[in-house]
Structure 1
Amino acid sequence: MKFLFSILMLGFSVTITAQDFFTEADAKGLIDTFFEGFHKGDTLLMQSVLAENVVLQSASVNREGKNVLSVTPMSGFLKSIGSRPEDQVWKEKLLGYEVQIDGNLAHVWTPYEFWYNGTFSHCGANAFTIAKLEEGWKIIHLIDSRRRDDCQQE
């Protein structure tokens, strides 16, 4: 009887652990939800996967050829998404996902192409940092690169 009880308890603990396990598919799902909201102009959907104090940055080269790191308040970014004119189509095409997970921290790298009203604009990569918070897994940091050179349009 003790053996049967031990087997049942082991199965129960494995079930609990499996429910708490964050997978590559879960990470991709958060990113996909973010971009679904981005493309639809649905800032509430975007906010559903963002931490309250998320940091948004961009690494680029300015017109003078200098490397620049800019910080954008997420509130301003979301306002620009929500107030985008209906005749503007912004499409960020993700070219892949590289996911790394360690405990309650994950990182997702997504190369992309950005298209504006069907015309290629630029390319780069997004780097998302995701963490498990009290309210669940949320994007806590997003930095992207932007360039027009060496882009392989698909």
Structure 2
Amino acid sequence: MLRILSILFVLLGSQVMAQNEQEAVKKTIEDFFEGFHAQDSLLMKHEVSESVILQTIGKDETGNSIVKNQPFNEFLKSIVSIPATTKFKEVITNYSIKVDGPMANAWTDYEFMLNNEFHHCGVNSFQLVKDANKGWQIIYLIDTRRKEDCN
């Protein structure tokens, strides 16, 4: 009986640790978006690695899917330069987070609002690595964007 209780204790302990790591990953993403919405480049930079890669999947003029790269510094400049009269918000509607040791993946459905109106929706795919000093850091972000089939 003691052996069974010991096994259960270990299993429950690892489950709690995994949930704690998932919450830490989620907090990193939430903090990134807090900076995004506040147009705070320092807060956004704090949540990403120095070598972060940003990509988006779009369509070319013939409707074929293409992957577009965006340097992080250009992304920051574009966010910071949005006029104060423009209201924008990316609303995460769902999280699916997987963690394996120092690596995590977060798949987040979202809706993007511009001036309080729906603009587009899509999915973000975040890859994160846990740094011994900085904690969870976003190393890769790719997203999709569409105006239809958002439910």
Place the TM-score, normalised by the shorter chain, in its bin.
0.7 to 0.9
Say what the alpha-carbon RMSD is for the aligned residues.
1.7
Name the residue aligned to 1:3: none
Percent identity between the two aligned chains: 40
Matched, 1:96 2:91: no
Matched, 1:147 2:142: no
Name the residue aligned to 1:80: 78
The list of structure 1 runs, each at least 4 consecutive aligned residues, that deviate by more than 4 angstroms after superposition, is none
* TM-score computed with the length of structure 2 as normaliser: 0.83
Name the residue aligned to 1:5: none
* TM-score computed with the length of structure 1 as normaliser: 0.82
In structure 2, give the amino acid aligned to 1:32.
Answer: E
Change in Cα spacing, 1:54 to 1:60, as seen in structure 2 (3 Å) is: same
In structure 2, give the amino acid aligned to 1:26.
Answer: A
The alignment partner of 2:56 has SS state of: strand
Matched residues, number? 134
Stretches of structure 2 that go unaligned for 5 or more consecutive residues are 1-12
Q: CA deviation at 1:134?
A: 4.5
Q: Is contact 1:50-1:140 (8 Å) kept?
A: yes
The alignment partner of 1:65 has SS state of: coil
In structure 1, give the amino acid aligned to 2:100.
Answer: D
Greater C-alpha Rg: 1
